[in-house]
Amino acid sequence: MRTHYCTDLDQNSVGEEVTLAGWVNSYRDHGGVIFIDLRDKSGLIQLVCDPADSTDAHKTASTVRDEFVLIAKGKVRLRKEGLENPRLKTGKIEVVVDSLRVENRSDPLPFTMGDPNVGEDIRLKYRYLDLRREDMFKTFELRSKAAIAARNLLDSLGFLEVETPILTKSTPEGARDYLVPSRVHNGEFYALPQSPQLFKQLLMIGGFDRYFQIAKCFRDEDLRADRQPEFTQIDVEMSFCTQEDVMGVAEDLLKAVFSACGHEIKTPFKRITYRESMEKYGNDRPDLRFSLELSDVIDLFENCESPIFAQIAQYKKLNRIKALKVPGGDTLFSRKTIKELESFVSRFGAKGLAYIQVKEEGLKGPILKFLPEDAVETMKSRLDLQVGDIVFFGAGERKIVWDYMGRLRTEVARRLDLIDDNRFEFVWVIDFPMFELEEGELHLKALHHPFTMPKNIDEDDLEAIDSMAYDVVLNGIELGGGSIRIHKLDIQQKVFKMLGISDEEAEEKFGFLLDALRFGAPPHGGFALGFDRLMMLIDKKESIRDVIAFPKTQSATCLLTRAPGPVEEEQLKELGIRIRKQPKTDASK
């Protein structure tokens, strides 16, 4: 239909007879001559419809409105001096139309395309219009390039792309499953995969040696700016490999993807153990674009005269007293700001937020009077306190302290504008504990997943058992992770037992895996990267929805298709399903 895309044309095309196809970006009708900015995926060019050149084309042009679909034939002409538009890539030329066809009309638009203030809900309802924007096209062009780069890199390393089932059995990633009722087996359900975890392990047992997939995954949990119920991950698994081998492949992969998106990144990435990350940054996904490390000061409170702090300092294993020094913070933070920070951490379980200001005349703060002189001196040197600094303290149960002090660290950095948005700071978090003690002692939970290889399974202290698991973190966001898997039956059985999974339950849920481990399973391991999050970070978008063509709202609906929706009674009958509660009325929709 077309001979060129709009921005294929330039001064060298002058005199050429061309056919262009696209949408009316805008039109300017002067009564005589009519100008139309024609848009296709490449960009804009100005069409000129002059009655002197073609009365028919001019007549047609006068009926044109925004977003009409046009096919225009004409000759490329250099614009006269003074008539160029430097804001257009094709601003030095224009196309004199001799034949114009309105291929399709358009109703007036429900919103102004390109207006950055238009609400996201209306853009999602008419997503196909939103996608016509240049910025959107660029985003998905980038996403496509990244996916292709990933495929090419993995292909070059001998990985085989294999598809795994969408209708499957629940794999226990810990999240809620999306269920699909079975018609053939009334009362039974498929689950959509939370990840292809067990299938990729079976592919290794199947001897494929190296597998990858750009896989859709499903988790029925509440949404966030960086979380959708269905998302895409680059899923990789390999056999006869060490943890180092796997991490090396992940780094090569990220390097290739970033390179395809125009960013050169350095490998290998930094590494930090899980425990060090928790102690220094308060979480297992540290943002290393800024420092502001947390310091341990629990020992300084041992002889503290405040009963609360002293008591906390008694139990060093489960309690923490952490200090966050903000250089220059005393001069930068007003009393109001400090109040706001206190209220900020209280949302995450902090009972208060003690602080010490470093003034010219010495330290100032209510907790000082409880501390022995030598403890204060030690603190000064340990934290290297300078005049103008402020130090915040978090004290209590370690999980809570880590959490709110880690969040405080990020919040402080945000407020002080310490975060360089143009940096990509990768870090591997390694040596995850195998188990997490839940609510007291009895209930062990797998921190990664129950197929992760423990390092020291015979250790008596269950909390001291490490796993061969690793997460890759970018700018404080978990991009992905992986592990070396258990390939020996006895270890897998032991881990299930430790997690409180009975033989019967293990057999029912993972019998096929246990079976497979009996038949010469090779050592293997792998990783998965959240592809949407990755693209969000590379493309510097605020929300994962911006890099997904048809995303869901926070309440997991699709404003475009209005999914989920009711189904015919007949469909339910076939599935053997009866709805107990009436669905809520949709009068508001």
Residues 193-222 that bind RNA (CB under 7 A): 194, 219, 221-222
Residue 230 as a binder of RNA (CB under 7 A): the answer is: no
Residues 386-405 that bind RNA (CB under 7 A): 403
Instruction: Tell me: does residue 578 bind RNA (CB under 7 A).
Output: no
Smallest distance, RNA to C-beta of residue 451, A: 12
For residues 358 and 535, which CB has a smaller minimum distance to RNA in the complex? 535
Q: In whole angstroms, how close is the CB of 86 to RNA at the nearest point? A: 9
* Cα distance between residue 355 and residue 345, in whole Å: 13
Which window, 87-95, 254-262, 380-388, 570-578, contacts RNA (CB under 7 A)? 87-95
Work out whether 89 is an interface residue with RNA (CB under 7 A): no
176 binds RNA (CB under 7 A): yes
| Under rule CB under 7 A, residue 46 binds RNA | yes
Q: CA-to-CA distance for 262 and 61, rounded, in angstroms?
A: 41
- Under 8 Å CB-to-CB from 342, ≥6 apart: which residues? 350, 352, 353
Longest alpha-carbon distance in the chain = 96
Binding mask 319-358 for RNA (x = CB under 7 A): ----------------------------xx----------
Query: Per rule CB under 7 A, is residue 475 in the interface with RNA?
Result: no
- Residue 287 found at the interface with RNA (CB under 7 A): no
Distance of CA 16 to the CA centre of its chain: 47
> From CA 212, how far away is CA 237, in angstroms rounded?
6
Cβ partners under 8 Å of residue 295, min gap 6: 322, 323, 324, 325, 382, 383
Residue 471: how many CA atoms within 13 Å on its side-chain side?
22
CA angle 328, 329, 331 (to 5 degrees): 75
Asked whether position 119 contacts RNA by CB under 7 A, the answer is yes
Near RNA by CB under 7 A: residue from 1, 81, 87, 207: 87
**Peptide bond connecting 564 to the previous residue in cis, omega within 30 degrees of 0:** yes
Q: CA of 437: how far to CAs of 255, 461, 463, 467, in Å?
A: 36, 11, 7, 15
Q: CB nearer to RNA: give 194 or 243.
A: 194
Q: What is the residue-wise DSSP string for 249-273? A: HHHHHHHHHHHHTT----SSPEEEE
Size of the residue set binding RNA (CB under 7 A): 75
Sole binder of RNA in the list 1, 52, 184, 442 (CB under 7 A): 52
Q: 465 — phi, psi (to 5°)?
A: -80, 120
User: Please, which residue, 226 or 425, has the CB nearer to RNA?
Assistant: 226
Using rule CB under 7 A, residue 481 touches RNA: yes
Chosen residue from 14, 17, 41, 122 binding RNA by CB under 7 A:
122
- Answer yes or no whether residue 270 interacts with RNA by CB under 7 A: no
Q: Is 499 in the site for RNA (CB under 7 A)?
A: no
Under the binding rule (CB under 7 A), the answer on residue 88 touching RNA is: yes
Phi and psi (nearest 5°) for 406?
-65, -40
Question: Is residue 540 involved in binding RNA (CB under 7 A)?
Answer: no
Residue 588 binds RNA (CB under 7 A):
yes
CA distance between the termini of the chain? 41
The residue type of 341 is L
Q: Among 42, 85, 295, 306, which residue interacts with RNA (rule: CB under 7 A)? A: 85
Please name the residues in contact with 172: beta carbons below 8 A apart, sequence gap of 6 or more. Answer: 449, 450, 509
Using only the alpha carbons of the chain, give its radius of gyration: 30
Query: What are all long-range contacts of 341-348, with beta carbons under 8 Å and residues at least 24 apart?
Result: 341/392, 341/408, 341/411, 341/412, 344/407, 344/408, 344/411, 345/394, 345/404, 345/405, 345/407, 345/408, 348/400, 348/403, 348/404, 348/407
Residue 381 binds RNA, judged by CB under 7 A: no
Rule CB under 7 A: say whether 225 interacts with RNA: yes
x/- string (CB under 7 A) for RNA, residues 124-153? ------------------------------
Contacts (CB under 7 A) with RNA, residues 428-457:
432, 447-448
Binding residue (CB under 7 A) for RNA from 134, 252, 478, 539: 478
Q: Say whether 517 sits in a helix, a strand or coil.
A: coil
- Near RNA by CB under 7 A, which window of 84-92, 136-144, 370-378, 508-516? 84-92
Only segment of 82-90, 139-147, 202-210, 374-382 that touches RNA (CB under 7 A): 82-90
Closest distance between RNA and the C-beta of residue 553, in Å?
Answer: 3
Output 85 or 182, the one with its CB closest to RNA: 85
Question: Is residue 582 involved in binding RNA (CB under 7 A)?
Answer: no
Q: With CB under 7 A as the contact rule, which of the stretches 44-52, 159-167, 179-187, 196-204 interacts with RNA?
A: 44-52
**Binding of RNA at residue 28 (CB under 7 A)?**
yes
83 binding RNA? (CB under 7 A): yes
Position 411 contacts RNA (CB under 7 A): no
Q: Which two tokens stand for residue 362?
A: 């010495």
The angle formed by the CA atoms of residues 338, 344 and 345, to the nearest 5 degrees, is: 95
Question: To the nearest whole angstrom, how small is the minimum distance from the Cβ of residue 586 to RNA?
Answer: 7
Decide: is 506 part of the binding site for RNA (CB under 7 A).
no
DSSP sequence for 455-508: S-TT-SSGGG-BBSEEEEEETTEEEEEEEEBP-SHHHHHHHHHHTT--HHHHHH
- Chosen residue from 118, 310, 462, 498 binding RNA by CB under 7 A: 118
480 forms part of the interface with RNA (CB under 7 A):
yes
184 versus 587: smaller Cβ distance to RNA: 587
Q: Which is nearer to RNA, 112 or 314 (CB)?
A: 112
Binder among 59, 65, 414, 573 for RNA (CB under 7 A): 65
Please state, in angstroms and rounded to a whole number, the distance separating the CA atoms of residues 155 and 236: 11
Q: Is 22 exposed, middle or buried (0-12, 13-18, 19+ CB in 10 A)?
A: buried
* φ, ψ for residue 423, nearest 5 deg: -95, 150
Which residue stretch of 174-182, 250-258, 320-328, 364-372 sits at the interface with RNA (rule: CB under 7 A)?
Answer: 174-182
